[in-house]
């Protein structure tokens, strides 16, 4: 007969730590200070018309970028919910070794899209069990090797020989960056990353 004081097993949502994001941090404050200083300099040089023109142009730019940012953030959130945490942790976690770094590098190389896709996906991988090393390998690989840019821009402009050699010479860099990321992370955060 079971004891009436036995607690039920916690649900998945209760065992998974949630990352709390602060809406106002040092980066936002730094950017706001730079905006105010820049706006003041433009106002002194060009008057209120210069400031207004820049502001209206940037509002238009923001309206064009916002759907992509929203889509990228939604993609990252859906990936975090869909991916099986145990498999991601096994394949890309801190105990995945060289295999995890190679998987991160390969995933980054084939990941399509720009920063609005890559960074939310990287954040989702960290949330579901990937470690800093594999995620660093993915982001560095996406930056250096990304097939989308190579096919759309590099091949037509720089030619096949240059593109292939550039990719071959870039291949070890994401793996080395990921290995260094793991090495540093374990020493800086011996008890795991602090919640944000």
Angstrom distance (rounded) from CA 164 to CA 160: 6
Q: What's the CA gap between 36 and 138, in Å, rounded?
A: 35
> CA–CA separation, 19 vs 196, rounded Å?
6
Q: How far apart are CA 134 and CA 27, in angstroms?
A: 25
What are the tens digits of pLDDT across the range 89-113?
A: 889 998 899 999 999 999 999 988 8
H helices of 21-111, in order, are: 26-82, 85-92, 97-110
**98: Cα within 13 Å, side-chain hemisphere:** 1
What angle is formed at CA 145 by the lines to CA 141 and CA 146, rounded to 5 degrees? 90
Over the stretch 3-34, which tens digit does the pLDDT of each residue have?
Answer: 444 444 444 444 545 556 677 788 889 999 99
Question: Burial level of 182, CB count in 10 A (0-12/13-18/19+)?
Answer: buried
Task: Give the pLDDT confidence of 126-182 residue by residue, as tens digits.
Answer: 988 899 999 999 999 999 998 888 888 888 999 999 999 999 999 999 999 999 999
What is the number of other CB atoms lying within 10 angstroms of the CB of residue 25? 10
Say what the pTM is: 0.70
For 66, 174, 178, the CA distances from 108, given in Å and listed in that order, are 24, 9, 12
- Where does the pLDDT of residue 194 fall: very low under 50, low under 70, confident under 90, or very high at 90 and above? low
Tokens 């260094």, residue located: 180
């Amino acid at each position: 007969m079971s004891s009436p004081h036995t607690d039920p097993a916690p649900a998945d949502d209760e065992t998974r730590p949630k990352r709390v994001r602060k809406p106002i941090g040092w980066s936002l404050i730094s950017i706001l200070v730079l905006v105010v200083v820049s706006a003041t300099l433009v106002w002194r040089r060009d008057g209120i018309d210069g400031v207004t023109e820049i502001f209206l142009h940037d509002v238009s730019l923001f309206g064009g970028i916002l759907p992509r940012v929203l889509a990228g953030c939604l993609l990252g959130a859906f990936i975090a919910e869909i991916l099986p945490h145990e498999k991601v942790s096994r394949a890309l976690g801190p105990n995945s070794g060289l295999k995890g770094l190679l998987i991160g590098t390969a995933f980054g190389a084939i990941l399509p899209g720009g920063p609005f896709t890559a960074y939310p996906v990287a954040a989702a991988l960290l949330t579901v069990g990937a470690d800093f090393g594999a995620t660093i390998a993915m982001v560095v690989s996406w930056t250096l090797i990304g097939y989308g840019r190579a096919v759309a821009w590099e091949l037509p402009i720089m030619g096949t020989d240059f593109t292939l050699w550039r990719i071959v010479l870039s291949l070890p860099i994401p793996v080395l960056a990921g290995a260094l990321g793991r090495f540093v992370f374990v020493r800086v955060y011996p008890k795991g990353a602090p919640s944000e």
